[in-house]
Chain A
């Protein structure tokens, strides 16, 4: 099975900061990677798929990049509503689509 790791696991940042989260796969997954945002008590929300394609309705301050085994999610200017936990997910090894362990973004 493909394993995903995320770094950091916890991130403390201020409004307006540029934030970058990294997701690494145990083997190459081409661009079959998605990013989700989850707030407490809520279902995850799709932000980015195919590594860099922004889901409709998601603010342009979110962006994704990478291919193969290393991927990044960047928030260009952190907003108050962005404090949440972020998960990456690989969609290469159909149908087993594992998630990363998550990165919690907290207020500094």
Chain B
């Protein structure tokens, strides 16, 4: 079945970097754009950025520019999100989400299970 499986929880110190993976299966990896969304404890959903798994092009939320990098490995159908210079405000659950596109519009139809990243000294 179509699914996205993310890597496990991480605990990092302020100033460090974290890299979260999202492995896709059950569909053609390069046919769907992938997004990253995060959710701080008790808060709403925040869009972080998008990657085109086919060509690797990316676009990031302005507030994360310079700290976030999204990459992909087509040989393993995996996308990665790396966030650097971590601060306490980056503590959140990080989700990857597949974007479904149709003539009517787009939506995030498949989500990973989420990866908890805790930033603490």
Q: Which residues of A contact B (CB under 8 A)?
A: 31-32, 34, 36, 38, 43-46, 49-51, 53, 55, 87, 89, 91, 95-102
Contacts and interface: CB of A to CB of B under 8 A. Distances in A.
Given A55-B109, A95-B59, A96-B61, A50 B50 contact: no
A43 B97 CA distance: 10
A31 B105 contact: yes
Contacts, number: 69
A32 B33 CA distance: 17
Chain B interface, >50% SS class: strand
Nearest to A44: B111
Interface of B: 33, 35, 37, 44-47, 50, 59, 61, 95, 97, 100, 102, 104-109, 111-114
